Amino acid sequence: MYEDIIALLKENVIQGRGVSNDEGIDEDMMGKPGVVELTQLALESNIPLQVIIKQGLTDGMQVVGDRFASKEYFIPDMLASAEAVSKAMDILRPHLEKAGVASNGKFVIATVKGDLHDIGKNIVAILLRGAGYEVHDLGIDVPTKKIVQLVREWKPDFLGLSALLTTTMVIMGEIIEALKENGLRDKVKVLVGGAAVSEEFAQEIGADAYCMDGFHALEVLEKFRGGA
Amino acid sequence: MPREGILVQSPYERMTKEQVEQIHRASMQILNDPGVISFNREAAEAFHSNGAEVTPVSDADKLCWGIKIPQELVLRAIESAPKIVKLGARNKDNSLILNGEEPRVFFASGSETNFWLDVVFETYTKKSTPSIETQVLEFYPRRGTTFDLCQAAHLCEHLKSLDAFIRSVNIQDKDITEDNKDVNKFFASLNNTTKHVMAGLTTLKQLDNVVRMAEIVIGEGEQLRDNPIISFITCLVKSPLQFVDDTTQTLIEISRRGLPVVVAVSPQGGTTAPIKESGIVAQINAEILAGITLTQLVNKGTPVLYGSVPVRARMDNLYDSYAAPESSQYNIDCVQMARFYKLPCYSTAGVCDAKIPGIQSSIERLFSDIMVTLSGPQYLHCAYGLLDNNATFCPLQAVLDDAHFQMIKFFLKPPQINEQEIPNTLKQIREVMGTSQKLYIRYIRRMLHGGQLSAPYPFESDGLEDNVLALAHKRTQELLSLPVEHIDPATTSRVFTDIPGILPRLNIYEGRA
């Protein structure tokens, strides 16, 4: 029973099925329990948290990652699985907190003032949640003041800034300056990304890292965490 | 189940209905005045005995006859020619049903190139930075051989978009003679592909040996008629409006045997036909109809394809210019004429002027590949691998062409808009609008994994380099390493026993335990 639930949980992560009415990839999955229902069932069955996370969610994501690397899976598959894991983590978080287990880190993400583009930013947010980060998504066209305020109050480990346009990417530099003025720059790692942004630009404005895409962002975060 | 091809829902047509009728009337007038000149006696007699006005032409170098073909004779032939022609295959799942009333396109290779283009990687060192080496593809043409033809058939067997094999390479081995060429070209092709095989005959003397070979492979008499694994291309017309003696006789004999045959005509706009669209189309239509009429006079019901290969002349050297947009215009008009007569159409696309694979060849061939396919011919000789105006075959180019045609076939899938789809779409839009991210990505996956989305271009590179040719070359090698279902040992043995002239080295079982 114990093993069955975990095996099903892992399989549903691989299928990218968050809830029972998600269709997944294989035929006849519709209506069967998804990651959310199986996570709840696992908790009710008193399966240890670390087993749910390691053998169900993480091992499932490992398979998804391997399939992505071998081009059997594509970005929509990664996102579906990450989203499903993110939903599971929302259910597990109170239990983890009660057990004194920390998340991988707190992450604020925003598209800067004047820019309304958010597809890339949303994808990054999904991947981060799926990878066990606590994400606060401020949305689009976010004023610098609001970002600084959240960094001060929520105390995130990471700040991700997105901009598509060359005219709005300069705001990223202004945000970094504002963090400095408020004595917050050394409290948070700033990651920047978006179509117009480059490695050179990131260095120029004093960001901690440039992220080419969501997957690159995960690699960068892993390095930060390893070095922390 | 026969192959599906691709059904063109709304074929592209250049001519109005009135213009089609004008061309038809002009062709009928051409067949009556000036009529055709026949260098073949039997054809002249066949037309004469069926009411055509036939007169010896006295001032010609060779004995020939002027034939004025009355309209009713042509219309009767169009009526009796089958509207549906089946092209069989060793593997019955590879057979083709060509329906003159349905614009379902099947893609075939072709034609008969004298040269095979070898592809070699050479390594060069960058002069300014000697530590940097780069690989460059170089091309070396050489005369085609039977081995090359085997390789071409083998490759075409594995090209997904390709429906039928028109022998691609003219075999010119030292031990190939006029008398053994046909049996070797048909055996090399048949033994290396389970798709339909079409070719022209070098000599009429070998027709019965070739037919006998097909009978040994698939069965005698009616079995071969039911599953004609081979068919023939005959170029009986030398434009303008002349029946050549030997190829006309070949057409007559094939018609007698009731096997599928293409009446293929290839006038050149500007030299052997008027360059204006109205002129070349009226003439080629008359020439093809004259040939089709002959098939029906010889043997009513002969399965025949309306074979149009019109081309414009290049102005710098008067070579054929298949890449000229006018060539596609002519071809598309001919497809429309064949549809007017409800006859299955053999058309032409993809031949290019470029001599090697690359940007020029891709642009030239894709232009006609797309345009002519859209016009909906039933059997499209689309020049897989052909370069330099049909002079050269390059397997790497054939692999590139396959990728192009897979894209074209995908594009031509009918739109899925119906009463089931619309409510599903509305539901999806409403669901997504209720989420914070407002992305449709989660709805892609079933389509993605069900093969309903087109694949990315298979030869793209990750960085700033263009590796299309290198990747296509690699793919060519992979395809050639895949096995082919050859003719079985017992049948092969019978073929080699009964059919004289096949080169022993083509017997893949020879010397095996």
pLDDT per position as a tens digit, B362-389: 999 999 999 999 999 999 998 999 999 8
Looking at beta carbons, which residues of chain B come within 8 Å of A23?
445-446
Contact criterion met (CB < 8 Å) for B437 and A126:
yes
Q: Is A131 helix (H, G, I), strand (E, B) or coil?
A: coil
A212 touches chain B (CB under 8 A): no
For residue B15, give how far its alpha carbon lies from the nearest alpha carbon of chain A (Å). 45
Decide which of A74, A98, A122 is a domain's last residue. Answer: A98
Q: Among partner residues B438, B441, B449, which is closest to A79 by beta-carbon distance?
A: B441
One domain for residues A215 and A110: yes
Domain ranges, ordered by start, for chain B: 6-14+81-411
One domain for residues A91 and A181: no
One domain for residues A203 and A118: yes
Q: How many CB atoms are closer than 10 A to CB A227?
A: 6
Domain range spanning residue A71? Answer: 2-98
B434 touches chain A (CB under 8 A): no
Each residue's pLDDT tens digit, B305-314: 999 999 999 8
One domain for residues A134 and A203: yes
One domain for residues A123 and A178: yes
With bands split at pLDDT 50, 70 and 90, how would you rate the model's confidence at A27?
A: confident
Backbone dihedral angles phi then psi of residue B509, each to the nearest 5 degrees? -90, -10
Contact criterion met (CB < 8 Å) for B437 and A125:
yes
| Tokens matching residue B284 | 């080629």
One domain for residues A137 and A90: no
ipTM of the complex: 0.75
By residue count, chain A amounts to: 228
Mean pLDDT (chain B) is 95
Each residue's pLDDT tens digit, A119-143: 889 889 988 988 889 999 999 999 9
Q: Report how far residue A110's alpha carbon sits from residue A122's, in angstroms, rounded to the nearest whole number.
A: 9
| Tokens matching residue B338 | 């064949």
One domain for residues A122 and A94: no
One domain for residues A111 and A190: yes
| Tokens matching residue B463 | 């960085």
Each residue's pLDDT tens digit, B28-76: 999 999 999 999 999 999 999 999 999 999 766 788 999 999 999 999 9
B441 touches chain A (CB under 8 A): yes
Q: Report how far residue B311's alpha carbon sits from residue B331's, in angstroms, rounded to the nearest whole number.
A: 8
One domain for residues A35 and A127: no
For residue A180, give how far its alpha carbon lies from the nearest alpha carbon of chain B (Å). 31
One domain for residues A115 and A215: yes
Each residue's pLDDT tens digit, A57-113: 989 998 998 998 888 898 889 888 988 998 998 899 889 888 888 889 999 999 999
Task: Report the 3 state secondary structure along B30-63.
Answer: HHHCCCEEECCHHHHHHHHHCCCEEEEECCCCCC
What residues have CB less than 8 Å from B86, skipping those under 6 apart?
B2, B95, B96, B97, B98, B227, B228, B260, B303
A24 touches chain B (CB under 8 A): yes
Looking at beta carbons, which residues of chain B come within 8 Å of A25?
445-446, 449
The predicted structure's pLDDT at residue B438: 83
Of all residues in chain A, the one with the smallest CA distance to B451 is A25
With bands split at pLDDT 50, 70 and 90, how would you rate the model's confidence at B26?
A: very high
A125 touches chain B (CB under 8 A): yes
Contact criterion met (CB < 8 Å) for A80 and B442:
yes
CATH of the domain at A199: 3.40.50.280
Decide which of A32, A66, A98 is a domain's last residue. Answer: A98
For residue B446, give how far its alpha carbon lies from the nearest alpha carbon of chain A (Å). 6
The predicted structure's pLDDT at residue A23: 81
Burial profile A55-84: b = 16 or more Cβ within 10 angstroms, e = fewer: bbbbbbbeebeebbeeeebbbbbbbbbbbb
Question: Is a pLDDT exceeding 60 seen at residue B511?
Answer: no
Return the closest-CA partner of residue B149 out of B171, B127, B132: B171
Looking at beta carbons, which residues of chain A come within 8 Å of B444?
76
What residues have CB less than 8 Å from A80, skipping those under 6 apart?
A16, A17, A18, A22, B441, B442, B445
The predicted structure's pLDDT at residue B512: 45
Decide which of A98, A131, A164 is a domain's last residue. Answer: A98
Name the pairing type of β-strands B304-308 and B311-313.
unpaired
The predicted structure's pLDDT at residue B389: 85
Contact criterion met (CB < 8 Å) for B441 and A76:
yes
User: Please, are residues B197 and B165 in contact by the beta-carbon 8 Å criterion?
Assistant: yes
Q: Report how far residue A190's alpha carbon sits from residue A186's, in angstroms, rounded to the nearest whole number.
A: 10
Q: Which residue has the higher pLDDT, B443 or B399?
A: B399
If you write DSSP's letter for every residue of B277-297 in order, what string do you get? HHHHHHHHHHHHHHHHHHHHH
One domain for residues A149 and A192: yes
| A 136-175 residues inside an 8 A Cβ radius of B | 137
User: Please, are residues A69 and A40 in contact by the beta-carbon 8 Å criterion?
Assistant: no
One domain for residues A70 and A135: no
In Å, how far are A2, B325, B364 from B367, measured between CA atoms?
61, 8, 6
In Å, how far are B116, B201, B202, B402, B506 from B250, measured between CA atoms?
28, 8, 10, 32, 26
Q: Is B134 helix (H, G, I), strand (E, B) or coil?
A: strand
The predicted structure's pLDDT at residue A25: 86
Q: Report how far residue B401's alpha carbon sits from residue B384's, in angstroms, rounded to the nearest whole number.
A: 6
User: Please, are residues A83 and A61 in contact by the beta-carbon 8 Å criterion?
Assistant: no
Domain count, chain A: 2
Q: Is B6 helix (H, G, I), strand (E, B) or coil?
A: strand
CATH of the domain at A58: 1.10.1240.10
Q: B6-14+81-411 maps to which CATH number?
A: 3.20.20.480
